[in-house]
Amino acid sequence: MEELDVEPSTTLIPGAGFNQKHLGFEWGPGDLLVYETNYKLQGPRSAGSPFVHVVRKDEDICSPILRKLFNESHLIFVGLQKIKEDVPSKNKKSQFVSISKNYRSVIRACMEELQQNAVSTQDGSLASQYGDQVSILLAIELIWNLCEVLFIDAAPAGSLLLHLLDWVRLHKSDVDARAREVLQSDSPAQHQSYWDVALKRLTEFDVKWRHWHEECDRCLQDNTFASNRHLETICKIMVGDEDALLEQKELLSTWYHFLVTRLLFTHPTIKPPDLHYYAQSSMNMFLGPRASPEPLDIILLSAFEFDLHQVIKDCSIALNNWWFVAHLTDLLDHCKLLQSHNLQCVSHIRAYSQI
């Protein structure tokens, strides 16, 4: 066994080792599981502790870029604690939405800095580490933004789909870039990406589909566009043909992108309570029977089902840190959204969010 150049540092585990008992351990999935045994350092045996402690190295704390994120988040959530209880609900809601957007902007700034460092570094392992951190922050911002739309801002039925369209577009940024490339070319209609862009941006240029929905249906019935498969495909999408939408899986790329596109052309006035049905069926249709949902898919699905308790629980399991869960729980609790979920850990997590 290789000898250490320096003495290992001592890690204190709150609640363990203070009763003069031996500690036992087992290697978990990426973590160390530590527990008190029945054996004391001196004297007769006694009952052990019923608790198992999960010990892991928090690499995020060591990252200067992420430390900046933590510091700026601290200021945001200290400000959250100062919002007075006697402020009218309407005023508080705007403050909560503002705090949520500020937090997301800090996360996005951190992602951009990590991406720049990943490109500029000559160290392959460091570039990979930056890439992993960007992927985690992308997932975190995606989840937070959806929670902002559904819970914090609580978009009503009339504007819910517009908010979801913005949510998808924000996390599918290549659409705007490819559209600019096509429109700035000498002959946009002849550009190789013209039809791909057209298919992806129906969801952006017009939500008043009722005016031409019947006309599109009539054109399909009359085989008006039978000689041009691209126009016929667009026409099918406009009338909400799910098979036609699924044929564009590569362009949509995710089941939740498919969900929002499907809603635009089949149910543009969707009400929040109906989201869960369309979310579940869209995920099943998009992934197919052979694919299993990823942890991120499960978290987003729980959000669409308006199950805050499950969102927080799944984030606690899937993410490699607690700060995101702490901040989300803190804000949701201030919005009075957790009363019906009986979360006993709310006060502890809120305190953690200010660290």
150 in any annotated domain: no
pLDDT in tens, 165-209: 889 888 765 555 555 665 566 665 555 665 555 545 574 434 455
d(CA 265, CA 106): 34
- Distance (Å) of CA 4 to CA 1, 9, 187, 259: 9, 11, 66, 53
- Distance (Å) of CA 26 to CA 22, 23, 75, 99, 291: 14, 10, 38, 41, 32
* Number of folded domains that form the chain: 2
Residue 354 pLDDT grade (very low, low, confident, very high; cuts 50, 70, 90): very low
d(CA 95, CA 342): 25
Where is the domain boundary, 289, 323, 349?
Answer: 289
248 in any annotated domain: yes
43 in any annotated domain: yes
238 in any annotated domain: yes
CB atoms within 10 A of CB 289: 5
Torsion angle of the four alpha carbons 320, 324, 330, 334, in this order, in degrees rounded to the nearest 10: -140
Q: Same domain for 163 and 280?
A: yes
Token readout for 210 is: 């009722």
Where is the domain boundary, 260, 289, 318?
Answer: 289
* Residue 292, CA atoms < 13 Å, CB-side half-sphere: 2
60 in any annotated domain: no
Q: Same domain for 284 and 174?
A: yes
210 in any annotated domain: yes
pTM: 0.71
Q: Which structural domain, as residue segments, surrounds residue 259?
A: 157-289
CB atoms within 10 A of CB 108: 14
Q: Give the per-residue pLDDT at 348.
A: 40
211 in any annotated domain: yes
Token readout for 338 is: 């957790």
pLDDT in tens, 56-107: 665 655 678 888 888 899 999 999 988 877 677 677 888 999 999 999 999 9
SS (H, E, C) 219-233: HHHCCCCCCCHHHHH
* Residue 352, CA atoms < 13 Å, CB-side half-sphere: 14
Mean pLDDT along residues 302-328? 89
Where is the domain boundary, 289, 311, 327?
Answer: 289
Q: Same domain for 46 and 170?
A: no
Q: Same domain for 165 and 284?
A: yes
d(CA 236, CA 240): 6
d(CA 229, CA 226): 6
Q: Give the per-residue pLDDT at 255.
A: 93
217 in any annotated domain: yes
